[in-house]
Amino acid sequence: MSIAIAYTELGGPEVLRMIEVPDPVPGPGEVAIRVEAAGVNPIDAKLRSGARASAPITEPRRVGSDGAGVVTAVGDGVDGFRAGDPVAFGGVAGAYATDVVAPASAVHVRPPQVSAAEAAALGIPVGTAYQTLRSLGVGDGDVVLVHAGSGAVGQALIQYAVLWGATVVATSSPRRFDRVRELGATPVAYGDGLLDRVRAASPDGVTVAIDAAGTDEAVRTSLELVADHERIATLVRGRDAAGFGIRAFSGGSPTPLTAQQQAWRGEAIPVTLALLAAGAFSVEEGPSFALADAVEAHRALEKGIDGKITLVP
């Protein structure tokens, strides 16, 4: 039997528990993976607590979607993988586990230069950032305002925007300014007076704004600075986006991602793995917890610990 983390009722971190599940057997087009690290994402906690709506719980609901590990078996019709290959995966339900089965399309060979913890940190953050920037057409000459630049999604937004030729201004707390600068952005403190600080940091204006913070301040500042509201997006206030007259990509949005946007999210993982291997992308690793300590991992997540939290079976 394998071990997984699940819950049977909504609530705080304490509802998470370890359960035994059958050892995974890959079907046609699938890959079985022994998990070495699983990424802990804010959406995991939002779904667990009920802050993000989900279907009624009718059986133990497993947690997580991103991870890295080693292939243990491949199903019929799968090419390009064999037992022993180090891999990364994203969008695979139940990643908080010792073993998972994943569609081969969601699995990517992990270069030897990339650790399991780094690879497990990619999935949702880089997929969200990459797709958002592509959807907004960010490129050479743009000036991008990123709200919450020191978070996992914010850091990915900064790095991709800079790689694609944009200038980036990013909000964060002052104690995180060094990290924001390291990634190539100009940091500004959020809070009263934000609009004036952004204008001072970017006197020639802002062409794109991305809200990864979810505050009224972030939305108001974006609306004031960006003339084309089609180039403003929120990643956390999807239900409010239409009322603001801005775009939303997931984050509770009632409008699903398009097929192209979903494809961009999947493309982000192998692209980022290659950049990591080349030393052209950086993941800020946070604390690592044993799988059995998933409750403590979620408590750390809700406290706002710096860096990407991972679980290690």
Distance separating alpha carbons of residues 305 and 51, to the nearest angstrom:
20
SS3 40: coil
The long-range contacts involving 175-184, CB below 8 angstroms and separated by at least 24 positions, are 176/149, 176/150, 176/306, 179/150, 179/155, 179/284, 180/149, 180/150, 182/282, 183/149, 183/155, 183/158, 183/159, 183/282, 184/158, 184/159
Of all residues in the chain, the percent with pLDDT exceeding 70 is 100
pLDDT tens digits for range 128-146: 999 999 999 999 999 999 9
pLDDT of 139 reads: 97
pLDDT score of 37 more than 90: yes
Distance separating alpha carbons of residues 136 and 138, to the nearest angstrom:
6
* Domain extent listing, the chain: 2-121+283-312, 125-248
State the virtual CA torsion across 222, 226, 229, 233 in degrees, nearest 10: -40
pLDDT score of 259 more than 90: yes
Q: What is the topology classification, in CATH, of domain 125-248?
A: Quinone Oxidoreductase; Chain A, domain 1 (3.90.180)
pLDDT tens digits for range 271-307: 999 999 999 999 999 999 999 999 999 999 999 999 9
Other C-beta atoms closer than 10 Å to the C-beta of 302 total: 13
pLDDT score of 148 more than 90: yes
pLDDT score of 186 more than 90: yes
pLDDT of 220 reads: 97
pLDDT score of 97 more than 90: yes
Tell me the average pLDDT of the chain.
Answer: 97
Q: What is the topology classification, in CATH, of domain 2-121+283-312?
A: Quinone Oxidoreductase; Chain A, domain 1 (3.90.180)
Q: Grade residue 262 by pLDDT with cuts at 50, 70 and 90.
A: very high
Of all residues in the chain, the percent with pLDDT exceeding 90 is 99
Residues 65-82, mean pLDDT to the nearest whole number: 97
pLDDT tens digits for range 196-233: 999 999 999 999 999 999 999 999 999 999 999 999 99
SS3 275: helix
Distance separating alpha carbons of residues 104 and 97, to the nearest angstrom:
18
pLDDT tens digits for range 150-161: 999 999 999 999
pLDDT score of 251 more than 90: no
Lookup: tokens for 15: 């509802």
Residues 114-124, mean pLDDT to the nearest whole number: 98
Lookup: tokens for 36: 């070495």
Distance separating alpha carbons of residues 177 and 239, to the nearest angstrom:
30
pLDDT of 297 reads: 98
- Judge if 2-121+283-312 and 125-248 fold alike in CATH terms: yes
